[in-house]
Amino acid sequence: MGKELFNPGEKDALDRVDGRQKVTGAAKYSAEYQLPNLAYGVLVSSSIAKGTIKSIDTKAAERAPGVVGVISHVNSIKVPGFADNEHPTEPPTGGRPLRAFYDNRVYFNGQPVAIVVADTLERAQYGASLVKVAYVKEQHTTDFNANTGKAVLPAQAKKNPKSSLNDYDRGQPDGYKTAPVKIEAEYHHPSEMHNPMELQSITAVWEADDKLTVYDKVQGTKPTQRAFATEWKIPVENVKVISKFVGGAFGNGLHNWPHETAAIIAAKQLKRPVKVAITREQMFTMVGYRPQTHQKIGIGATPDGKLVGITHESVGQTSTYEEFTESVLQQTRMMYTSPNLSTRYRLLPLDVSTPIWMRGPGEATGAFALESAMDELAHVLNIDPIEFRLKNYTEKDPDNNLPWSTKYLKECYQMGAERIGWNKRRMQPGTLKEGDWLVGYGMGVGTFGAHRGGATVRAKLHADGRLVMQCAVTDIGPGTGTAMVQIASTTLGIEPSQIVFELGHSDYPMFGNQGGSSTVNSVGSAVQAACNSLKQKLKDLASAKNASLTTADPKNISIKNGQLTITDNSLNVALADFFKQNNLQEMEVTEESKPGQEANKYSKYSFSVHFAEVHVHPKTGQVRVKKVVTGADAGTIISWKTAANQMIGGVTGGIGMALQEDAFMDHRFGRYVTKDFAEYHVPVHADVPHIDVFFVDKPDYIVDPIGTKGLGEIAIIGVAPAIANAIFNATGKRIRELPITADKLI
């Protein structure tokens, strides 16, 4: 069962195909394109949370050395799409994304209100410091906790009665109340910022009056291309989006933001390329975040541990101008057998910037409450938390009564429990010690839909045996190129060193966003389709010349060391000679791959289980995560090293969520106090123990033909509750408000 994760270099897994480029600095990120006549833009942001701009004094900035322009709502060219009522960009948000420099309204503290463009970055920064903005202030509301009672059903749910955001009941509404054993608890986590290492940046160039090129940090080149074409009312093919390398994103590149439009406006108005890289402080207000959320759970069971009912309610924050929703409650509906189940989702619009998907969006939030509550009830029932989950294990999806495409969650429990040493865990909290330290074990489950979208890949086979593929997909860090090279190599036999996967350009064949753990499922399937199409073409050519090959199975075609072979018919010829015989320079195919109807008969999810061992000092409240075991049922694992990297990264994010991350706002000003890494804490090496990764590695051919299910999100979903549960097991203290800082434990 399962496959041991090798030590890097021990087995045959690929190193990252672009690893050398990344560590040597050869990889070019969107702020690193040096174009002729390039100018630098620096954004001036609002210092009030709500109101209007009375006046902007830009005279000193305009006179400052090197400044070539100062643009605000006063003098900005009009973006044609801004006047439309329709939504100019892509989901996930409803409402209207902020329009840069459109009018004098201020919606949140930190909103871009002007851009100063100069011939150097430093001169633009100096110029920006000279801009003086006068406001008419209005009373703002930014305090989430003081206003949760005012939360409303999202407009997206009101508009669509079928939306899963609507109130939901299975069995008896609030049926948990009838259970012999029940608990009710409230959980909270603050807003969390993605804060990837790379700052959001864009370099915008108008090649002609209606032709735009952007080097932009995004998660989808095609969706961004469509968004800007709509915004500027120019043909889609006139917009080029180049995003070759992305230094982490975690979701904040799934939406287009005002700094991008600001750069595009400036480039058009000043008739020269403009680069904007926002500051770390601006990363807290301009590019989305995981919205703070307040959840209530009522959960009840029989004394022997059969769930009777769960009611799960969630209130999240959004902005006043745009409505961001996420599926906080979905996993509660499908994870356990509960005859009675109710969910209610609400949003509280505040005078803040718009949140956006952040790794494990919705589910990471919901799992904190659900998996904590499961642990709390198991404790009350005096049942082992794994046993409690097994007693309520579902063999089909209780939300829609469909069979699972595959589900190996039991295997995950078993493998993980063994690896963490679950038998050392004491049922009675606070009873296991190591020296002065209290020791505890906890676990949490994660799940995320195994999504797949349409994708198209072009593949060109050269006479010397090299294969070059192209797709518009981006790689925000998981190692997409590496996985695609692996799939092509497995399918065709070509050595990985002879395969190149080109990505991150909107001119390449179609793919949408790298998001929702769907890239390998979608693009990987298209890579396989393109490689299979090459095999078919090779076979057709071979059998045209040699009738005995007519019955050959294209499956048995392989290209190795430049030799083309058909194993069952013993064709063995140098590919170069074969191409020459057929008057070919190269062979090119373009294949689209998309999910079929059959998949709709199943419920498709990836699953993960995370186990944590924590040590807590009873006097100081210090928490040390000593060991984490993390495992996934994510279908076939294509690329073992990068897949393990994903899990390690997700767990690290989960440790931050559990113990450190806290976007703290001063509500007098509606402004974040935490605006850099000194104040906003994320895990450093010393905070992260050895993370032991395992995969079940069993294929799911219902999700896609390569058997994968996706793992980017499940890597973090369920980690925070695993740590919170371990802290309870160590101390007997149940902390329901993240992050679990030392002060909450003493």
Burial group, residue 121, by CB count within 10 angstroms (0-12, 13-18, 19+): middle
The nearer residue to ligand MOS, 90 or 692, going by C-beta atoms, is 90
Rounded to 5°, angle at Cα 704 from 698 and 709: 50
Return the closest-CA partner of residue 14 out of 486, 468, 481.
486
Question: Do residues 483 and 227 make contact, with C-beta atoms less than 8 angstroms apart?
Answer: no
Rounded to whole angstroms, how far apart are CA atoms 243 and 30? Answer: 7
Q: Closest distance between ligand MOS and the C-beta of residue 681, in Å?
A: 21
Span of 9-17, 139-147, 249-257, 614-622 interacting with ligand MOS by CB under 6 A: 249-257
Nearer to ligand MOS, 69 or 360 (CB): 360
Q: Which is nearer to ligand MOS, 360 or 440 (CB)?
A: 360
Check binding of 333 to ligand MOS (CB under 6 A).
Answer: no
Which of 112, 196, 516, 650 binds ligand MOS (CB under 6 A)? It is 516
Report helix, strand or coil for 152. strand
- The owner of tokens 């033909």 is 705
Q: Does 515 sit near ligand MOS (CB under 6 A)?
A: yes
Work out how close the CB of 225 gets to ligand MOS at its nearest, in angstroms, rounded to a whole number. Answer: 18
Nearest distance in Å: CB 740, ligand MOS: 23
Shortest distance, position 249 Cβ to ligand MOS, whole Å: 6
Strands (E), 404-493: 433-434, 437-449, 455-462, 467-470
Residues of span 49-88 touching ligand MOS by CB under 6 A = none
Tell me if residue 32 falls in helix, strand or coil.
Answer: helix
Instruction: For residue 218, state whether it binds ligand MOS (rule: CB under 6 A).
Output: no
Q: Does 359 bind ligand MOS (CB under 6 A)?
A: yes
Maximum distance among all Cα pairs of the chain, rounded to whole angstroms? 84
CB of 356 to ligand MOS, least distance (A): 8
- Separation CA 356–CA 351 (nearest Å): 15
Report the alpha-carbon distance of residue 99 to residue 117 in Å, rounded: 19
Q: How far is the CB of 48 from ligand MOS (least distance, A)?
A: 30
Known active-site residue 495: no
Distance, CA of 456 to CA of 454 (rounded, Å): 7
Q: If binding means CB under 6 A, how many residues of this protein chain bind ligand MOS?
A: 11
Nearer to ligand MOS, 297 or 663 (CB): 663
Catalytic residue among 122, 281, 713, 737: 713
- To ligand MOS, the closest distance from the beta carbon of 743 in angstroms equals 30
Closest distance to ligand MOS from the beta carbon of 475 (Å):
12
Torsion sign (Cα): 616, 622, 628, 632: positive
Tell me the angle at which helices 363-381 and 640-659 cross, rounded to the nearest 10 degrees.
Answer: 70
Cα 440 off chain centre by:
30
Residue 616 region, left (φ>0) first, then alpha (ψ -120 to 50), else beta? beta
Q: What is the DSSP letter of 505?
A: B
Q: Which is nearer to ligand MOS, 69 or 196 (CB)?
A: 196
Q: Which of 131, 262, 358, 724 binds ligand MOS (CB under 6 A)?
A: 358
Q: For helices 719-731 and 640-659, what crossing angle results, to 10°?
A: 50
Of residues 649 and 739, the one with the C-beta less far from ligand MOS? 649
By CB under 6 A, is residue 250 in contact with ligand MOS?
yes
d(CA 338, CA 600): 23
- Indicate the pairing of strand 467-470 with strand 499-502: parallel
245-to-197, 248, 436, 631 alpha-carbon distances in Å: 13, 9, 47, 28
The one segment of 81-89, 308-316, 353-361, 439-447 that binds ligand MOS by CB under 6 A: 353-361
Of 192 and 591, the one with the shorter C-beta distance to ligand MOS is: 192
Is residue 357 close enough to count as binding ligand MOS by CB under 6 A? yes
Strand 322-324 and strand 307-319: pairing? unpaired
Reply yes or no: is the peptide bond before residue 739 cis, omega within 30 of 0: yes
Binding mask 251-270 for ligand MOS (x = CB under 6 A): x--x----------------
Nearer to ligand MOS, 91 or 303 (CB): 91
Measured from the Cβ of residue 670, the count of other Cβ atoms closer than 10 Å reads 21
Of 736, 744, 442, 472, whose CA–CA distance to 612 is shortest?
A: 442
Nearest residue (beta carbon) to ligand MOS: 251
Which of 251, 446 has the CB closer to ligand MOS?
A: 251
* Least distance from ligand MOS to the Cβ atom of residue 574, Å: 44
Handedness of CA 278, 280, 285, 289 (dihedral sign): positive
**Which of residues 362 and 707 has its CB atom nearest to ligand MOS in the complex?**
362
Report in angstroms how near the CB of residue 372 gets to ligand MOS at its nearest.
22
258/287 Cα distance (integer angstroms): 9
Q: Which of 316, 349, 361, 653 binds ligand MOS (CB under 6 A)?
A: 361
**Contacts to ligand MOS by CB under 6 A:** 219, 249-251, 254, 357-359, 361, 515-516
Q: Which residues are known catalytic residues?
A: 713
